[in-house]
Structure 1
């Protein structure tokens, strides 16, 4: 698995490769065709495009780039008809594209999925150069190699060419891909996106997949989507639905109608964002929670005084019910011997605590001190960023719906949560309560990203950008919130009540139909994420 992450080689199922080759071939019939496969892998696209009967006997030249010697050798042995020629280049595409002057009718394939941490310095440098060549300000620089493959492929297309790629679904979701999405709309007259209800790559559990087909010239222009319910029958009943390409919402909103998108944009644009109501920061990154976060029994065994640790919530499952981290809750965690105390050793001479010294040596026997983040510290066991607790916690990952939690204790949280500090005059209870309405939750579904298991995640900027209909609420309203979060039926009733109360405060003329539509939108987006 580590080797697969390093090479980014997740080979495309033949049924998808066959569909994609046939689909784009219908757009290329009637002329000699030059094809580029920038990451040929096992050769499935080379084989399928070479054997595609829709192209008849028109001349077809395929250039297949493959970094692996073994796979390149396999591609050279692929049998194709006489009118098809294959040139195999055993090279990293990042190097190849830098010198290539040829333009192609079609660039097709499944670019590697390699995160920044697995890229070489040379690859990172080339990726940055590619971004600069397109004058793109990609958020936080290079994140993954697939984006550079896509950009280079666009550059290598003819003026009437087509690019057809299998991409991670983060293409639709993440902020760093927005400049690329915008570029596609500028460079191509027609962009088709196919999404899937199923995981296409079983070995890549957390990542959904999309197919992107972009045509430089087309009689029917625009941005189009189609959802595939069963990828083994991907060719059945393909019906593309046009999407508003000028919408300010992420392309994950494609499942909504134009009227629904307009409603979300109209309302959310008139509400304060979370960043206007509070400040927030990522929770504590220990880089080894199992070592640094200990239970009451370990504290006693190591004879650690209370000024050497702080209470901490590791994950949202430790707050199983309701929306409050209370003193009763953390007392219960301690009594159940749950690891909920973070070692806080910065500035401490640990030599005064012999058993703690032995524990640190134990950590070194596990090679914890050799981890990347540990090596950046003055002392590997000094966890940085330990601060005061926050009145509110937001857990960045969720399943049913995001967890916004009042913190009545001095406990911190790990980076599974954001530490939220309401601004002057903003009541923490009201902030938490007002988060639970259909508009804010629907925008969380759109602005966040979701993974194969149905988990929703919001990055710091996505969280801060959410609209929130802030109002002062009373103690009784807040007390009712905890019970409503533990039951689907009660939660639906809560949202209906909150939608009417909170949204009417900002929009007195909002209709019952619009309130109902907001509830439908939220449910529709949640069902899409959870594949219901």
Structure 2
């Protein structure tokens, strides 16, 4: 079965990041333990995994003449498949061991084939580049397993799920997978599938990025079926790829196995110790503790479609004489220094020439606009700002929708710690900062101060998403899921809290709020509060080490 494809899109389809030898050798050593195991590599590229699998069989005493039929590689790109065939040929294996085909097409033709081991590094391409002809076949097979993939599903997900389904009853899977498996919502169904399909899951992670060319954190996913003892999940964390070369398989076997929940929750919590995980589960089940979503609605900020045109500094506004046609806006997290954003804060940003003004001309046809607006719009059209997608689809490209000012702001991207900031300046925000509407009767100061506690911080690290750059990112719904116990009114000095935050004294703030809210009000013990603080610090430090 041959597959052909345009070379111009070959790199994009492959994902383009081949697996380091240290990883292929380690995974094959872990997975291949019996000389007669049948091994599949569903996206073999130029043959790194194929070669390591063959060498592993040789180490187990298999003679070269008996290698044929033990390892099968499938590769979409013909040029790469040829390279893989050439590497296999070094060991006397003929070319039928490597099949030039789309993996999903191959599975449809050979659905009954089962393997003892599946190893690989599926393509890391985004859903936008997932060709429809491959997507439809992949999704059809996933749906036959009871899954419901959607348009946001990236290609590594069906590779992983369908590879797992190709295993026999005692099979093992070892794959290089994006760490987003732990934390993105579109992978929630995959997490449930893995927790139900496998008896034991081991995840090997690295404190430093494995691939130098991309800010993509990866993990080694090692899954086993047919395991009777020590079922669950365990995490082995290494500093760098070099540590993998000295890691003994016995060290993995001796690592603590934690109880694996069969639900869609994110797996970031499994970086924690079992007592820490159990504490979070008890707190989550505590009916006294509300979530952010019970006291606020979180929504995205303004999507201008072209910030370099619509967002203006004070100097720009004066230059174009557009003072009457602007709205105050916050565009960056570091422009929100405290837990209150007031007129003085806005003026400070303005004098520093930060982009704090949004261009909002009257919602009229061009010929009815004031002259100053016409001139600025012509300037934008001269730079073709009106041709961008968001602007192009509007009735009037220069009119930005959804300009409402929120009660408060919530940080979309977090470096050190998250916070809720009360909006007393009448500003709105761009989509780099979320907008918050508080429910009726909710005191803004209570919410902003209450959020600054070790319990909410710990859950924030688990509910948010962190990629290779060390930044914690939240969708609106993820903020709404964060547990948020509320302080009794006037129990702490809010002005003191705001001042301490502006002076970057977050630990002092946590000490104040934790004592009043978590210990006095909720009745948590000192030990439990210290554990929650430790969870936040452990996970945030792990994230920040990836900068």
**If the length of structure 2 is used for normalisation, what is the TM-score?**
0.89
SS at match of 2:420: strand
Mapping of 1:474-493 within 5 angstroms? Answer: 474=490, 477-486=493-502, 490-493=505-508
CA distances 1:474-514 after superposition (whole Å, capped 9, x unpaired): 396211112322556x3222212211211235423x22222
Matched with 2:393 is 376
Number of aligned positions between the proteins: 522
Could you tell me which residue of structure 2 aligns to residue 23 of structure 1?
A: 30
Q: Deviations over 1:198-223 (max 9, x none)?
A: 10111112x21111111222243322
Q: Which structure 1 segments of 5+ residues have no match? A: none
2:296·2:439 contact (CA, 8 Å) conserved in 1? yes
Per the alignment, in what secondary structure is the counterpart of residue 243 of structure 1?
A: coil
Match for residue 144 of structure 1? 154
1:38 aligns with 2:42: yes
Do 2:463 and 2:478's aligned partners in 1 also have CA atoms closer than 8 Å? yes
CA gap of 1:309–1:132, structure 2 versus 1, over 3 A, is farther
Is structure 2 residue 222 aligned with structure 1 residue 209?
no
CA distance in 1, matches of 2:44, 2:52: 12
- 1:233 shift after superposition: 2.3
| CA distance in structure 1 between the partners assigned to 2:157 and 2:203 by the alignment | 16
- Contact kept in structure 1, 2:419 and 2:448, CA below 8 Å: no
Among 280, 289, 304, the alignment partner of 2:298 is 280
1:73/1:217 CA distance change after superposition, 3 Å:
same
Identify if the C-alpha distance between structure 1 residues 506 and 183 changes in structure 2 by more than 3 Å, giving closer, same or farther: farther
Matches of 2:162 and 2:360, distance apart in 1: 47
Report the Cα distance in structure 2 between the residues aligned to 1:504 and 1:408, rounded to whole angstroms: 31
Query: Do the aligned residues in 2 keep the contact of 1:272 with 1:468 (CA within 8 Å)?
Result: yes
**Deviates further, 36-45 or 422-431:** 36-45
Task: Establish whether residue 108 from structure 1 lines up as the match of residue 122 from structure 2.
Answer: no
Residues in 1 aligned to 2:405 and 2:312: alpha-carbon distance in whole angstroms: 18
- Give the Cα separation in 1 of the matches to 2:485 and 2:491: 18
CA-to-aligned-CA distance 1:390-439 (integer Å, 9 cap, x gap): 12100111111013211111111111121111111110111010000000
The aligned counterpart of 1:183 is 193
Q: Is the 8 A contact 1:39 1:93 kept in 2?
A: yes
For 2:303 and 2:13, how far apart are their aligned partners in 1? 24
Residues 56-75 of structure 1: per-residue CA shift (max 9 Å, x gap): 21544333222223222211
User: 1:7, 1:200 → 2: CA distance?
Assistant: 18
- Sort the Cα spacing of 1:511 and 1:404 in 2 relative to 1 into closer, same or farther, 3 A: same
1:241 equivalent to 2:241? Answer no
2:25 is aligned with 1:9: no
**Residues 105-504 of structure 1 aligned to structure 2 (within 5 Å):** 105-138=116-149, 141-205=151-215, 207-220=216-229, 221-235=231-245, 236-237=247-248, 238-239=251-252, 240-246=255-261, 250-270=266-286, 271-304=289-322, 306=324, 308-319=325-336, 321-345=337-361, 347-351=363-367, 352-386=369-403, 388-474=404-490, 477-486=493-502, 490-504=505-519
Q: Determine if contact 2:75/2:100 at 8 Å carries over to the other structure.
A: yes
Which whole-Å CA distance do the structure 2 matches of 1:226 and 1:281 have between them? 37
Most deviating of 514-523 and 403-412: 514-523
- After superposition, the C-alpha distances for 1:162-208 in whole angstroms (9 at most, x for unaligned) are 22110010101112212211111211122111111110111112x21
Post-superposition offset of 1:100? 2.9
Q: Relative to structure 1, is the Cα distance of residues 326 and 50 closer, same or farther in structure 2, using a 3 angstrom cutoff?
A: same
State the Cα RMSD in Å: 2.5
SS in 2 for 1:252: helix
Q: Aligned-pair distance for 1:470?
A: 0.7
Choose 276-285 or 450-459, whichever is displaced more: 450-459
Structure 2 unpaired stretches of 5+: 1-7
Indicate conservation of the 8 Å contact 1:274/1:463, yes or no.
yes
Partner deviation per Cα, 1:199-253 (whole Å, 9 max, x = no partner) = 0111112x21111111222243322221122211204243332111028753211
Shift of 1:359: 3.7
| C-alpha deviation, 1:30, in angstroms | 3.7
Q: Deviations over 1:347-381 (max 9, x none)?
A: 32233344544543443444434433334323333
Contact 1:5 1:113 in 2 (8 A): no
